[in-house]
Amino acid sequence: MPDGRRLVLVVGPSGAGKDSVIRGVQAALRGQADVVFPRRVITRPHDATGGEDHEPCDPAAFERRAAAGDFALHWQANGLRYGVPAGIDRDLAAGRAVVVNVSRAIIADAEARYPGLQVCVITAPPSVLAARLRARGRESAADIDARLGRADAFAVAARHVRTISNDGALEDSVRALVAVIAASSRDGQTIRI
């Protein structure tokens, strides 16, 4: 099993801009085969309105796949199931960095499997989170209030944690996440943007 030093788990409260930062990093690192961004499997239909590119999966099939070991990591959040394909183990064993958005609830389990992993918390002030959640139009006012309540209590316990405040220019947050990915390299490999 890879030690996970090149595994970067991105976490943060809803509205922090995790997906936007990850997309920015993907664009900045396009063509660099040593950094991969696995496509998550999620029990929701594919969203053609600009949401995350994921592999849709119905709940029964997801459970079968989880039982068969198809996922390196999987969890349930907000009424959905999420899975990170087991193929990340091959990427990590080959020395590639793996960057994926996960739930903070799985960090302890992930550290047990990948003890050297890096956690990158992307956050923003409550007023910014609220504005972003309202702007994306996916949740009701009550859902937004619940997400903001969870954001107030957002804490991450992990061995290796870096925090990015995504309340300024997106490019600054992208550069900061690229730096986290570069720091995860144990062999001095250069990550260029």
Cite the annotated binding site for ATP by residue number. Answer: 12-19
What is the residue type of 7?
Answer: L
Residues of each annotated binding site:
12-19
DSSP notation for 2-66: ---TTEEEEE--TTS-HHHHHHHHHHHTTT-TTEE-PPPEESS---TTS----EE--HHHHHHHH
Separation between Cα atoms, residue 54 and residue 164, nearest integer Å: 24
Residue spans of alpha helices (H) in 137-183: 141-152, 170-183
On whether the CB atoms of residues 36 and 128 are closer than 8 A, the answer is: no
